[in-house]
Structure 1
Amino acid sequence: MHRFPNPSSAVDTIINCFNVLYENIDRDEAFGLFDMQEILVSNGLISSSGATGIRALLKGSNKDLSRDKSYNQCKMFAEIYRFLGWIQSYETALNFTFTQLGDHVASAVDEKPLVEICFLGIEFPNQLIEVSGSYSIRPFASIIKFMSELDGVLSRDEMILGPLSMQDDRDEDEWNTRVELIREFRQKPNDFKKALNETLESRGIKKATAENYTRFPLGALKWLNWAHPVRDKRHYKKSTHTYRITETGKEISAALQSKLDFRLEDYEMLPTESKVPIAKSAFYDILEIAGFDITDIQNEKSEWDQVAQTMLGHKILFSPYQAIAPDELRKIFKTQPPSSKRESIYSPSITYEHRSYEAAYLALNEAEYTVSETHVENTFIRDIEPFLEGYSESEIISKLKSKYSSYNKDKFYPLIGNIFGVLGLDCEISPHGVNSRRWDAVIKSDNDSLPIEIKSPTEELNISVKAIRQAVENKIILQSRKSLENKRPSTSLAVGFDLPANRAEVSQLIDDFKNVFEIDIAVIGIDYLLKLAIKCLRNNYTLSFDELSTKAGIIND
């Protein structure tokens, strides 16, 4: 089974972190994982050891790098950026430089069309990353094709047993056998479970680990709008959590049928004189499809395209920066290697001894970084960080409540999402005016979700009975429309500035909804959320989804 890293299942986070790295590392500099740690952790884009920002970077330092959480998170980011073709190794495996493909991702006004092609371009094996096993797959193209051939649906476990476990996804016999096996297993769930367990056991992979490997592809499928989670009763013996292909996914699947699946092994078999024009034709095809202006090289591209057409006879699916070795790519595209190595401010050794902590903090605090507002994931971190040292819990809550007391919905709703993010939860704020998403925000897990009704202090200072009714409506609509996976027993949240003024009335209404509709409502004020955030950032605490999903009533502690 192919093992995808999972630094984040949110593609927006992966892109944001890349863009921040690109903004803060000179294009002609090589950089390493410590540079990535310094930039991403100290600027609050990823957390470590229950802290954020510079404190997180220094607090998480460890002589044993396998125990350094943010170091290993950066290592996973780097692996993703390499197989997406945005960075490549230089001289050593963990020393990197940006690529031409990465340049275009960073400069794109709308990077999504190019990122979509990059996901289709992922192939293993390649000359960029060593992977264990001798399999040959193009995973994302195979996932969407599997889905198309299996009535438009594919579950997480079917993904594990199917496209991610193929030995050669261009072997027609193996492909057809695997597709029909999964189709048959849909009516024999016990046989499917047995086959899945045997496959994983033979490869020494635990079920929970295999599921973790699917977080990245499943997150990408949703972000790309190729597939969305649903419960399906039609194609399975019993109702099953699965993913259904969207219209966009169908268009992608159809487009794949019109292209030759051309891979590294095919490239290596080309005559020497054909390699450069075919690689250039493929690369500039990608840029043109993604909306970049390639007028300046159109004449040359016509010549490269002619070579490709003569040799291969079809348009090809091939991304050179996701397959070919860096040294050869520099020769093909006549690019220069980095001229220097970035001078890092941070390395773990500076904090091994307590006496160096303050000097390291000052050096990092004085460093100047470019972090565009669009890439800053969590502005709440900037609000709370100055108070974490030297202020009591009550003082911090008082200061921040004073700041937030005049926030309207445009500021308050994202703030609530950011606080839940600090708590370790995946909270998504709904865009205004989208009627299909009645809730103001939603907290998601792999197989459940919690809708949130939010009231800003300018809407109502104290959470009212109206918010409770709307929280009930959110739950009913989510259960009815099934736009997200949602378990019936899970709570629905009402979040506001202050708890209800008339608590008896609200508590009675919550009890009534529970007794009549069997719907739990949890009412949360910002004091409680701030208290949890302080606990999280100071004491390495996280609030689990399961813990929150079982809360009900007016929450004080």
Structure 2
Amino acid sequence: MLRFRNPGSNIETQVGSFQVLYRALKDAKRFTTSDMGHVMAEANLFTAYGYTGDKALEITSSRSDSLNSTKMNMKMYAEVFRMLGWVAPADRSASYPLAFTFIGSCAGNSTFAGALALAEESLLGFVNPTENSQNVKYTENVRFYPLVLRALRDLGGTMYKHELCLGPMSCDDIDESSYDGMIEKIKSLRGDYSRLSDAFNDLCQRLNMKPTSVDNSTRLPIGQLSGHGWIETGIRDRTLYNRSLSCIKITDKGATKLREYLSMVDLRLSDFNALEPNLKAPAIRAGVYSMLERAGFNVDSVRARRKSDSDALAPLLKGRELNFSPYQTLWPDTVNEALGLTPDIRNQEVVQETAKHETHSDKRESSIESTFEGTILGASAFAHTSEKLPVAERPSLIELRGLIEDAVAKTSTIADASRLLFNSRVNDKQNQFYPLVADLFTLLGLDCRESREGDNGARWDALIKDSEESIPIEIKSPTEELYLSLKAVRQALENKVILLSRETHPTQRNTSSLVVGYNLPNARAEVAKIIDDIYSTYRLRIGVIGLESLFQLAVSATRGNYKIDLSEIGRSKGIVNVDL
């Protein structure tokens, strides 16, 4: 069965962390997990025992490797980036240290949206076996992510996570009989939950793994599939096993992506090795350039080379697209040689490369400079000079702006548009509601980020970051509690105490701690009294905001009528009323 390490299943966090690492380490010919740890700590991108930054490094540095959460976390991130083909072993002698690949340099230099699009192409490119995967503990011959979509299609569109372990994660998709057997096996389990449990426990015993470890192996692929919009998660389904299970479901986008994949020529390691020697370099270049072009990068500068390679590969491709990700399949030095990248020039700033994002067309462009015969020299210039994610380009934020614009077009007042948007979110689960709240605060001009999934050190659900007055946010989705409760207020108090004591982000004692939920509390007088008691006793402010009020602020901000000042929200106490 495929094993997936899980440093955090949020795809935006993975891409953002990679860009921070790239910008810090791009000039190094090789780097270690220790180097990664220092960069991530400085950027407050991970926690250890509830601490971030230098304190996290200090706590873990004296511990053994098995207890050194920093080292283990960095190894997991490294494996994710290797899986995407963005980093690779610096040489063939060992798995570490690492070096950035050319595809990785394109992701690092691009806008955040461009890197996210390239990550989506990298999911299509992930394959096993590869030339540098000799030490992995699994033997499946599989193009995994398209296989999941195909299995979902053939199983009625819905799947439970343990079926993912028993099916696509344990299947050779290059063998149609193996695939058909996998589908029939899952179908034979359905209808009886005890059969599924027995089969899953038997798999765990054969793998000599604890059920929780096998279960956790599904978190990364589910997070990546969901993050790119190929599946929905948290779908309650009683039809599969006569009990309510939280399932995944293929989306229209996932079905479209599957059709695109099935129309391509799928080149695996064995297929590449069987090519005539004179076709291997053209196949490598075609694979790299096709990935970049599908991700929205401008590859016009290698048009001549692409034409000659396409002509050479015509008998293989027969007019179809090629799905072949060389950095995810071959040793990187083989790929670099085909691209004309030598160790001496690959890490030099030889040419200026630009990467820009056009918001309206959602087209990512990164110009790839070339020399004679289309030899790519390398990527050097940043698309963004800040280590912060460019929040204006977060796909979820772009989508939210579009929803707000649609609501405004359908109504006549800010209040009506806000009410329409508010009513549409009544069934939101945590994974929908928490990012929504962060994006709404972002529309108000604040640097607000949802806490990373699985990061227990970040006690709060989201954080408004500021150089002096960061604000923790406790969030309750409507499926958790339709009306905010006293418990949420107590948790907001805990958030503030933890932020003050651990000093993970700069804040002031008199800066508020916020609670955001769908509806304001029913017992408003009781909530107001507790907030007053907290302030009287501890001199700590708690502010409570309902979703409809937050939408009113965001709609007004989007229409250019309002921009909030941090001090307005940072000094709030009690229930916040909005009257625009």
Normalising by structure 2, we get a TM-score of: 0.64
Structure 2 vs 1, CA of residues 258 and 452 (structure 1 numbering), >3 Å: closer, same or farther? same
C-alpha contact 2:130 2:329 (8 A) present in aligned 1: yes
C-alpha contact 1:29 1:338 (8 A) present in aligned 2: no
Taking every aligned residue pair, what percent have the same amino acid on both sides? 25
Deviant stretches of 4+, over 4 Å: 338-341, 440-446, 451-455, 490-493, 534-538, 552-557
The secondary structure found in structure 2 opposite 1:31 is: coil
Aligned ranges 1:167-178 → 2 under 5 Å: 168-178=172-182
C-alpha contact 1:128 1:324 (8 A) present in aligned 2: yes
Q: Structure 1 residue 260 and structure 2 residue 265: aligned?
A: yes
Structure 2 vs 1, CA of residues 312 and 39 (structure 1 numbering), >3 Å: closer, same or farther? same
User: Which deviations, in whole Å up to 9, do the C-alpha atoms of 1:481-513 show, x marking residues without a partner?
Assistant: xxxxxxxxx55674xxxxxxxxxxxxxxx6xxx
Whole-Å separation in 1 of the counterparts to 2:312 and 2:345: 34
C-alpha contact 2:451 2:462 (8 A) present in aligned 1: no
Aligned match for 1:187, one of 191, 215, 226: 191
C-alpha contact 1:493 1:521 (8 A) present in aligned 2: no
Structure 2 vs 1, CA of residues 340 and 286 (structure 1 numbering), >3 Å: closer, same or farther? closer
Alignment partner, residue 274 of structure 2: 269
The secondary structure found in structure 2 opposite 1:30 is: coil
Q: Structure 1 residue 374 and structure 2 residue 389: aligned?
A: yes
Whole-Å separation in 2 of the counterparts to 1:330 and 1:184: 47
The secondary structure found in structure 1 opposite 2:343 is: coil
Alignment partner, residue 335 of structure 1: 341
Q: Structure 1 residue 531 and structure 2 residue 497: aligned?
A: yes
Alignment partner, residue 95 of structure 1: 97
Whole-Å separation in 2 of the counterparts to 1:53 and 1:217: 28
User: Which deviations, in whole Å up to 9, do the C-alpha atoms of 1:12-71 show, x marking residues without a partner?
Assistant: 111111111111113352111111011111221111233111122122202622321111
Whole-Å separation in 2 of the counterparts to 1:131 and 1:521: 46
Shift of 1:330: 2.2
User: Which deviations, in whole Å up to 9, do the C-alpha atoms of 1:444-474 show, x marking residues without a partner?
Assistant: 979xxxx99999xxxxxxxxxxxxxx97xx5
The secondary structure found in structure 2 opposite 1:46 is: coil
Letter in 1 for 2:57: L
C-alpha contact 1:43 1:54 (8 A) present in aligned 2: no
Whole-Å separation in 2 of the counterparts to 1:492 and 1:19: 38
The secondary structure found in structure 2 opposite 1:241 is: strand
Aligned ranges 1:270-285 → 2 under 5 Å: 270-285=275-290
User: Which deviations, in whole Å up to 9, do the C-alpha atoms of 1:182-202 show, x marking residues without a partner?
Assistant: 123221221121111112211
Higher relative contact order (CA 8 A, sep 6+): 1
User: Which deviations, in whole Å up to 9, do the C-alpha atoms of 1:320-351 show, x marking residues without a partner?
Assistant: 0111112212221121226899xxxxxxxxxx
Structure 2 vs 1, CA of residues 445 and 104 (structure 1 numbering), >3 Å: closer, same or farther? closer
The secondary structure found in structure 2 opposite 1:523 is: helix
Shift of 1:225: 0.6
Shift of 1:132: 1.5
The secondary structure found in structure 2 opposite 1:254 is: helix
C-alpha contact 1:42 1:56 (8 A) present in aligned 2: no
Whole-Å separation in 1 of the counterparts to 2:212 and 2:54: 33
Structure 2 vs 1, CA of residues 452 and 210 (structure 1 numbering), >3 Å: closer, same or farther? closer
Q: Structure 1 residue 231 and structure 2 residue 231: aligned?
A: no
Q: Which runs of 5+ in 1 are unaligned?
A: 342-369, 377-425, 435-439, 456-469, 479-489, 495-509, 511-519, 539-551
Whole-Å separation in 2 of the counterparts to 1:257 and 1:340: 34
Alignment partner, residue 40 of structure 2: 40
The secondary structure found in structure 1 opposite 2:145 is: helix
Shift of 1:147: 0.7
Whole-Å separation in 2 of the counterparts to 1:237 and 1:443: 35
Alignment partner, residue 379 of structure 1: none
Structure 2 vs 1, CA of residues 527 and 198 (structure 1 numbering), >3 Å: closer, same or farther? closer
Whole-Å separation in 2 of the counterparts to 1:453 and 1:21: 23
Structure 2 vs 1, CA of residues 42 and 148 (structure 1 numbering), >3 Å: closer, same or farther? same
C-alpha contact 1:30 1:338 (8 A) present in aligned 2: no
C-alpha contact 1:128 1:322 (8 A) present in aligned 2: no
Q: Structure 1 residue 318 and structure 2 residue 321: aligned?
A: no
Shift of 1:181: 1.7
Whole-Å separation in 2 of the counterparts to 1:88 and 1:535: 39
C-alpha contact 2:19 2:108 (8 A) present in aligned 1: yes
Letter in 1 for 2:64: D
The secondary structure found in structure 2 opposite 1:127 is: coil
C-alpha contact 1:128 1:326 (8 A) present in aligned 2: no
Aligned ranges 1:480-491 → 2 under 5 Å: 491=481
Alignment partner, residue 67 of structure 1: 67
Structure 2 vs 1, CA of residues 332 and 237 (structure 1 numbering), >3 Å: closer, same or farther? same
Whole-Å separation in 2 of the counterparts to 1:444 and 1:252: 27
Alignment partner, residue 131 of structure 2: 127
Shift of 1:123: 0.6
Paired residues, what number?
407
Moved more, 95-104 or 520-529: 520-529
Aligned ranges 1:440-455 → 2 under 5 Å: none
User: Which deviations, in whole Å up to 9, do the C-alpha atoms of 1:191-218 show, x marking residues without a partner?
Assistant: 1211111122112121100111111011
Shift of 1:317: 1.4
Whole-Å separation in 2 of the counterparts to 1:98 and 1:122: 17
User: Which deviations, in whole Å up to 9, do the C-alpha atoms of 1:420-455 show, x marking residues without a partner?
Assistant: xxxxxx953433499xxxxx9999979xxxx99999
Alignment partner, residue 395 of structure 1: none
Whole-Å separation in 2 of the counterparts to 1:250 and 1:7: 28
Letter in 2 for 1:325: W
Structure 2 vs 1, CA of residues 454 and 279 (structure 1 numbering), >3 Å: closer, same or farther? closer
Structure 2 vs 1, CA of residues 260 and 536 (structure 1 numbering), >3 Å: closer, same or farther? same
Whole-Å separation in 1 of the counterparts to 2:190 and 2:123: 28
Shift of 1:294: 1.1
Structure 2 vs 1, CA of residues 319 and 41 (structure 1 numbering), >3 Å: closer, same or farther? same
Structure 2 vs 1, CA of residues 267 and 279 (structure 1 numbering), >3 Å: closer, same or farther? same
C-alpha contact 2:127 2:143 (8 A) present in aligned 1: yes
User: Which deviations, in whole Å up to 9, do the C-alpha atoms of 1:290-317 show, x marking residues without a partner?
Assistant: 1111111112101111222213434321
Alignment partner, residue 167 of structure 2: 162
C-alpha contact 1:36 1:74 (8 A) present in aligned 2: yes
Whole-Å separation in 1 of the counterparts to 2:453 and 2:483: 15
Q: Which runs of 5+ in 2 are unaligned?
A: 348-384, 392-432, 443-447, 455-459, 465-474, 505-522, 539-580
C-alpha contact 1:28 1:338 (8 A) present in aligned 2: no
**RMSD of Structure 2 on Structure 1 (CA):** 3.5
Letter in 2 for 1:317: N
The secondary structure found in structure 1 opposite 2:196 is: helix
Structure 2 vs 1, CA of residues 522 and 24 (structure 1 numbering), >3 Å: closer, same or farther? closer
Whole-Å separation in 2 of the counterparts to 1:42 and 1:442: 19
Normalising by structure 1, we get a TM-score of: 0.66
Aligned ranges 1:512-527 → 2 under 5 Å: 522-524=488-490, 526-527=492-493
The secondary structure found in structure 1 opposite 2:5 is: coil
Letter in 2 for 1:373: K
The secondary structure found in structure 2 opposite 1:29 is: coil
Whole-Å separation in 1 of the counterparts to 2:215 and 2:204: 11
Alignment partner, residue 208 of structure 2: 204
Alignment partner, residue 27 of structure 2: 27
Structure 2 vs 1, CA of residues 288 and 433 (structure 1 numbering), >3 Å: closer, same or farther? same
Whole-Å separation in 1 of the counterparts to 2:29 and 2:500: 38
Whole-Å separation in 2 of the counterparts to 1:86 and 1:492: 43
Shift of 1:521: 6.0
